[in-house]
């Protein structure tokens, strides 16, 4: 079993839809959770950073962590064509470098 599992998609949604992106993980030591957005021909850029369980909101984006289920989510409200990108989750425990999911490709259709 991979440490971090992420559905590669592609996921295609109409503009204005609510998007849900998810990752599951197996290492219970992970306490730090991140979401990155990567546009074509660009490097990943940090979207959200959370510690332990709970929710964090930033504008149209909400990150959710459920450590009991080893499951994290990123919700995008009122999705826009500019949200079309690949989204990567990442996790850390302090003793080793971050572990990244393989990314989910999202297309928001106008």
Binding site for other proteins (CB under 8 A): 8, 31-32, 34, 41-46, 49, 88, 90, 92-98, 100-103
Closest approach of Cβ 23 to other proteins, in Å? 11
Judged by CB, which is closer to other proteins: 75, or 100?
A: 100
CB of 110 to other proteins, least distance (A): 26
Return the number of the residue (82 or 95) whose C-beta is nearest other proteins.
Answer: 95
Residue placing its CB nearer to other proteins in the complex, 56 or 102: 102
DSSP characters for the chain? Answer: --SEE-----EEEETT--EEEEEEE--TT--EEEEEEE-TTS--EEEEEEESSEEEEETTEEEEEETTTTEEEEEESS--GGG-EEEEEEEE-SSS--EE---EEEEEE-
Minimum separation from the CB atom of position 100 to other proteins (A): 5
């Amino acid at each position: 079993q991979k440490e971090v599992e992420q559905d590669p998609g592609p996921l295609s949604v109409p503009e204005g839809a609510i998007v849900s992106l998810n990752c599951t993980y197996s290492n219970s030591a992970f306490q730090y959770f991140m979401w990155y957005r990567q546009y074509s021909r660009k490097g990943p850029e940090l979207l959200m950073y959370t510690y332990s369980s709970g929710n964090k909101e930033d504008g149209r984006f909400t990150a959710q962590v459920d450590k009991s289920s080893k499951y994290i989510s990123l919700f995008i409200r009122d999705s826009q064509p500019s949200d079309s990108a690949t989204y990567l989750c990442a996790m850390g425990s302090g003793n080793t470098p971050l572990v990244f999911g393989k990314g989910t490709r999202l297309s928001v259709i106008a």
